Structure 1
Amino acid sequence: IRAFELAKPPLLRVGLIELAKDRHILMFDMHHIISDGVSMNILVEEFVRLYGGEELIPLTIQYKDYAAWQQSEAHSERLKQQEAYWLQELQGELPQLELPTYFSRPPIRSYEGDVLHFVIDKQRSEGLQQIAENTGSTLYMVLLAAYTILLHKYSGQEDIIVGTPIAGRTHADLEPLIGMFVGTLAIRNYPAKDKTFFTYLEEVKETTLGAYENQDYPFEELVEKVQVTRELGRNPLFDVMFVLQNTEDQTAHLGELTVETYRQNHTIAKFDLTFGIRFEDGQTCGYFEYCTKLFTKSMVDNFVEGLLAIISQICEQPHRRLADITLNPIRNEEASVEEIDFAF
């Protein structure tokens, strides 16, 4: 691992490791300023197509065209409107989430972390999907509501900001481009105990849609505008994230050659706690990435149990008040936490 110097190209390094005569690791070391998760999928897909002898259709635009558009007057006007939206959303005293921790918060933020993986069973997954269909919501919105209820239960707070990444490719012409498009949204919700889950989900839905519509506004500028008090032991605006990954790992077959993602050990936590969901082999797979300077594995086990308990209760009684939702897991044959042996 070597640091990149942004003023000196290249910002991409590629290496090949031979493990055996018929097994190799092809590594891409890229600075995040020139790529994101979607970019990696594009890179692998086009690599495989070229390896198979295909010719790629020339791109209609380049990333530099996107960069020029970002500096245009029309885009500046659009950002002014979006700035007003975000300043309205984040007005007043901003909440600082206080989850119970096993260790005292370090004076300087630590990135030491670990990941706990689990599976949301078929019964719960179908229940979540049914709620989404019945309310005109998305699975993302339903899971965000469940996650913020979990955070509310552990913190006792009814004003919670959760960060979430957004793909940022708002125009079809951007879909085939490699580059850094991902943005960060600070989504503020109010899980008050007297609300029913359906009422709260409707609020989450409207808040999420508003955030999506105003996703172009740069997060760094928003932090400056709301004048967050900086603490070396915390992130600005929020310390927890929610990530729903709807990009599948790619496995390609070229004759006798198979190309698949190489799984790596994960020991970094960018935030105090990140709840993530992805879909793998027909399963709804979840994970909690957590800071090991704050939480122990047993505490995160409890987060998982609590989240599954919340999901069970909102699927069975979606009109239940948040105050009546408990963290006690409902035991049945399909309600166990299944740990799975893969990394993201």
Structure 2
Amino acid sequence: WQRDVLGSEGDPDSVVTRQLEYWKQALDGLPDGLDLPTDRPRPAVATNRGATHRLTIDESLHAALGRLAGEQRATVFMVVHATLALLLARLGTSRDIAVGTPVAGRGERSLDNLIGMFVNTLVLRTEVDTADTFAELLARVREVDLGAFAHAEVPFERLVDVLAPERTQARTPLFQVMLAFQNIGDVALELPGLSVAQLPLDAGVAKFDLMVTILEGQAAGTDAGDLAVEISYATDLFDAPTVAAVGDRFVRLL
């Protein structure tokens, strides 16, 4: 079904060909890795061991982010993305910031009633100029995000094959920091004579150097109006106090 929708890469007018051309231009010359200050050198082979730091964005700041997004014709996700890109640029040595983000992968109505995992991954690349105002950075991020979301059907693994970045067991290809925005509430399950609840599970696994997850609404599990922030990190690279400091700086920039 996906091949029927996307068409053939040999057809210059197919969806897959047009989208691959977009990504080739958008990610041309992307650095192989994002250099951040770490507590230890990167090992030759990542162990994928990890931990999670949690913090909260209170209701008043959340509301202010929403107002800013509305004033700038953006979304709260875009404001958070711009803030994270700015933070990464200030922490590291590069101004060319690539951040991955998951998308639902259910852009076609015919998928609504299908059970399964359709999530795809996009690469959001932003050039951060520290001389810009935040509004100028946000405008650039808005265009990057809209362009990426409009070309979200190419499977990430195929994109990696086509772009052929340097492959290594030390880090993930194309990006090493993930930003996820979760605003879907928990699904309730009621059974007679049985109480059912969702419990947090820290699996001790890190798929990326850093993964920043923003949980909104019921998904946050906090007071109404608050945002929950989870920063998962590779313990190969970072210690808990370092990530806590990164989290504090993130909230300060917001």
User: Structure 2-normalised TM-score?
Assistant: 0.91
The one of 307, 319, 329 equivalent to 2:250 is: 307
Tell whether 2:200 aligns with 1:268.
no
Q: Map 1:86-235 onto structure 2 (within 5 A).
A: 86-94=23-31, 96-235=33-172
The question of whether the paired residues in 1 share the 8 Å contact of 2:34 and 2:94 is answered with yes
Change (3 A) 1:73 1:201: closer
The question of whether the paired residues in 1 share the 8 Å contact of 2:32 and 2:173 is answered with no
For residues 67-109 of structure 1, give each alpha carbon's deviation from its aligned partner in whole angstroms, at most 9, with x where no partner exists.
xx21227633111110110001011253521000001111101
Amino acid in the other structure paired with 1:205: R
* Distance in structure 1 (CA, Å) of the matches to 2:110 and 2:194: 32
For residues 27-83 of structure 1, give each alpha carbon's deviation from its aligned partner in whole angstroms, at most 9, with x where no partner exists.
xxxxxxxxxxxxxxxxxxxxxxxxxxxxxxxxxxxxxxxxxx212276331111101
* 4+ runs deviating over 3 angstroms: 73-76, 252-258
Say what the alpha-carbon RMSD is for the aligned residues.
Answer: 1.5
Q: How far did residue 175 of structure 1 move?
A: 2.2
* Distance in structure 2 (CA, Å) of the matches to 1:173 and 1:256: 37
For residues 180-206 of structure 1, give each alpha carbon's deviation from its aligned partner in whole angstroms, at most 9, with x where no partner exists.
211010110011111111011011011
The one of 34, 51, 70 equivalent to 2:2 is: 70
Change (3 A) 1:101 1:75: same
The question of whether the paired residues in 1 share the 8 Å contact of 2:176 and 2:210 is answered with yes
Q: How far did residue 267 of structure 1 move?
A: 0.4
Change (3 A) 1:74 1:129: closer
Q: How far did residue 239 of structure 1 move?
A: 0.8
Higher relative contact order (Cα pairs below 8 Å, separated by 6+ residues): 2
For residues 213-257 of structure 1, give each alpha carbon's deviation from its aligned partner in whole angstroms, at most 9, with x where no partner exists.
100011112112222011221111111100011221223334543
Q: Which runs of 5+ in 2 are unaligned?
A: 9-13
The question of whether the paired residues in 2 share the 8 Å contact of 1:278 and 1:284 is answered with yes
* Distance in structure 2 (CA, Å) of the matches to 1:128 and 1:93: 30
* Distance in structure 2 (CA, Å) of the matches to 1:235 and 1:200: 26
User: Structure 1-normalised TM-score?
Assistant: 0.68
Percent identical across equivalent pairs?
34
Q: Which residue of 2 aligns with 1:242?
A: 179
* Distance in structure 1 (CA, Å) of the matches to 2:101 and 2:6: 26
* Distance in structure 1 (CA, Å) of the matches to 2:111 and 2:197: 25
For residues 249-273 of structure 1, give each alpha carbon's deviation from its aligned partner in whole angstroms, at most 9, with x where no partner exists.
2233345433322332330000010
Q: Which runs of 5+ in 1 are unaligned?
A: 1-68, 312-344
Change (3 A) 1:254 1:93: closer
Equivalenced residue count is 243
